[in-house]
Structure 1
């Protein structure tokens, strides 16, 4: 074998190794903790492009994860989510780059527990870590749907009042 053939073989092996390892390496973007009442949902919207991984760890109780590229409020109903993870431990869902954005993410508190406390980590594939967030390239005149903080507070207070009454 000629020296340049050996070098090209080594280079090809190195590129293959790098590609396979970068494709499965995730870089954390954001993490947060939250609480969810049994039988209730908390919803999030994912705007960022790229291959995304969501890790949901139930610290107390049991929180489950539902994801949809067509519904912003996915539920456990079979026709209302694309992927889900409903283990009693860590829930992990991979969202491919091909999913239409925004992606709806629902965290469901299992009704067996009065309350579930969870930690959620959003990570991006190593190869996609340099991509800008989706909203950084949105034209300035484009409409971006955002919920008012007052509306969110009102809905949460209403949920608490209903939970007390029921």
Structure 2
């Protein structure tokens, strides 16, 4: 729902299905913090949370959501890096235009991984930690996500 005086922006939440539980924790915290944002009225699209109605073409709906979105949060995990679909269809449009906010969702040795389309890109790690390291601590997870919201603001200002 648009709010007077705030710019409406659409975010695309990109994550891999095996990471749904952890990604959901991140999204709920993010949605709570962005609902009270002073500058932007955020709207998020997530196909796993009812974004695609049964009977519609899945790929077409994802591409449409990518085109409508102002930025994307890329929830990087081992599963995410292994997904051909994400690296071929979801991430490239956002990476090419500087509208991507890659975040490290789970703890793993990122430097040893083939980062594919994310190679050489800065990946957000609040306090030098992946989100899973703080997810069970409400104070730490809120601080982590507040830093993420700041990163989203930078992307929106600079693109």
TM over 0.5: no
- Which structure's residues are more often strand, by fraction? 1
Instruction: Give the TM bin, normalised by the shorter chain.
Output: under 0.3
TM-score of the superposed pair, with normalisation by structure 2: 0.24
Bigger Rg, structure 1 or 2: 1
Q: Which has the higher contact order (CA 8 A, sep 6+)?
A: 1
